Amino acid sequence: PLLNRALGTDLSPPGSIFKVITAAALLEEGASPESVIDAPTTWTLPETNSVVHNTGGACGDGSGKASLRTALVESCNT
């Protein structure tokens, strides 16, 4: 409780927070929690060589697709 998360070194990656914003935007545009979205195992950031991985490997069943609900529950990074 005494850790200053604004200045401390034990911070959550910003993607973990941004996932909620992205999901909210999808829901606002008419998607449902069961809507199927892309969920690849890895994703290369546009115009870079940086590769984003999902913690624990595949998201959902590993098919490269997952429901919005599953993506949020499993915290898919891609």
> Beta-carbon neighbour count of residue 13 at 10 Å?
10
Nearest to 37 by CA among 1, 73, 7, 11: 73
Is 16 assigned a catalytic role? yes
16, 32, 63, 75: the active-site residue: 16
Known catalytic residues are: 16
